[in-house]
Amino acid sequence: MALDPRRRLADRVYYGWVVVVACFLASMATFGSTYAFGVFYDSLLETFDASRTALAAAFGLQTALIYVAGVGAGRVVETQGGRRVAAGSGALLAGGLAWTAVARSYAELLVAFGVVAATGMAGLYVVGYATVPRWFGRRRGTAVGVASAGLGVGLVAVPAAADRLIAAVGWRPAMAALAATVGVVAALVALLFADDPADVGAEAGERAEFSSTGAGGDLSPSGVAPDAGTTLRSPAFLLVTAGWILTFAPLYVVLSHVVLHASDAGLGRAVGVAAITTLGLATTVTRFGIGALSDRVGRTRTFVLCAALMGAATAGFAVASGRATFLAVAVAFGVAYGGCGGLLGAQIADLFGEGALTTLFPVASLSFGVAGLAAPPAAGAAFEALGSYDPVLLAGGAAGLTGAGCVALAGRLAGGGEERMRAPD
């Protein structure tokens, strides 16, 4: 039998970094696909003769199911392994996007994009975000930040490429091309992925070099094996979940409505698309660097500061009056989003331990489902009632600041874990 090519890589480099690359690609496929929705929005409005509220509900349904189905995906990862989940989820995502490309009714769009594609995204999301923290300890922020930068690359590359394809060949061929690309990327994820060092012949000592807890790092910050049920009911965990809802609700409003907002504000559709691209560039660059910085100054502290900045930038979109100002706000929003999104898995592992991560992280991520399901349709309804996105963006800014406060309080209640992980090199 031919030697597993993953074992060849494991002979040359600590395989945790290869897993980081696989998770980077999983995040890129997942979030590049979902965040491309904004540039398809006006074409879908015209094709399916749906209101902004109804079409935003399709995006909201998909967002909610990513995280609802993610809870089940986490359970499957525990029994079947992340590699199998990545392979099956990639096939579902590519198939859902391909079906979306040929959908003939709004109901069909809901099922194809809002259910099938979302189910595939759920598995890739859990694999992409909940795997890396288990391979790293004191360099956890660095590794998780790099892996999550796939989201930023997807946000930069996919909407911009889709927008050009839509202009050149129409939205249906553009969606079909997206489906094909996602299928190739997902296959590469499954090829590279490994669930455990033993799968690729990596030595436990290699992991210990990068981890403050050694090969069996599954203890909570207190040094006691974690009880997922007790943690789920703890005030600190509930505060993290509430904080994530309030922090990320404005994100879904911005990503699904900023192109329309720019047009309605007289700046033009091109400025809205440029804002998404700019935001994506800023979040990508930030994710590559924020992890290493947070390993030094504190990952929860870094998250809180970035959450506050994201809230302020959300309100900034309401008052930006020119192209330059609008894009400057997009840069600030992207930096803040990169700082928050790049530390999610590490935050849960730091505060509540590694052992139950594939249970705790998907449950905490239900907060994104709540935010994604409620925020985009609410923004659409508010626009139709008020004739402006400005009040929604200002309210979103206030929500973001409140969310930052919730996470700060959760960090104080959980206490201790992050300092343990910041041992000097």
**Position 2 in a domain:** no
Can you give the pLDDT at residue 424?
A: 35
Tell me the pTM. 0.70
Residue 63: domain span: 7-421
Q: Cβ(345)–Cβ(47) under 8 Å?
A: no
Q: What angle do CA 111, 376, 45 make, to 5 degrees?
A: 60
Question: Which of 280-316 are b and which e, b meaning 16 or more Cβ less than 10 Å from the residue's Cβ?
Answer: bbbbbbbbbbbbebbbeebbbebbbbbbbbbbbbbbb
How many domains is the chain partitioned into structurally? 1
**Position 1 in a domain:** no
Whole-Å CA distances, 47 to 55, 105, 179, 407 = 11, 9, 19, 42
Can you give the pLDDT at residue 3?
A: 64
Count of other CB atoms within 10 angstroms of residue 253: 28
Q: Which residue has the tokens 């700019």?
A: 278
Q: Which residue has the tokens 């525990």?
A: 78
Q: Cβ(345)–Cβ(294) under 8 Å?
A: no
Strands (E) across 19-126 are located at none
**Position 335 in a domain:** yes
pLDDT tens-digit profile, the chain (425 residues): 456 777 777 777 788 888 899 999 998 999 888 878 878 888 888 888 777 778 877 877 887 788 888 888 888 887 888 888 989 999 999 999 999 999 998 889 889 988 999 999 999 988 888 788 778 766 777 788 788 888 778 877 888 888 889 989 999 999 999 999 999 999 999 888 887 777 776 654 444 444 444 333 444 444 444 566 778 888 888 999 999 999 999 888 888 788 888 878 788 888 888 888 888 788 888 888 877 788 777 878 889 999 999 999 999 998 888 889 989 999 999 999 988 887 887 788 778 876 677 778 888 888 887 887 788 878 888 888 888 888 889 989 999 999 999 999 988 887 644 544 443 33
What CA–CA distance (Å, rounded) separates 133 from 144?
Answer: 7
**Position 274 in a domain:** yes
Task: Find the CATH number of the domain harbouring 401.
Answer: 1.20.1250.20
Can you give the pLDDT at residue 181?
A: 93
- Measured in whole angstroms, the distance separating CA 180 from the mean position of its chain's CA atoms is 21
Q: What angle do CA 159, 62, 265 make, to 5 degrees?
A: 50
**Position 346 in a domain:** yes
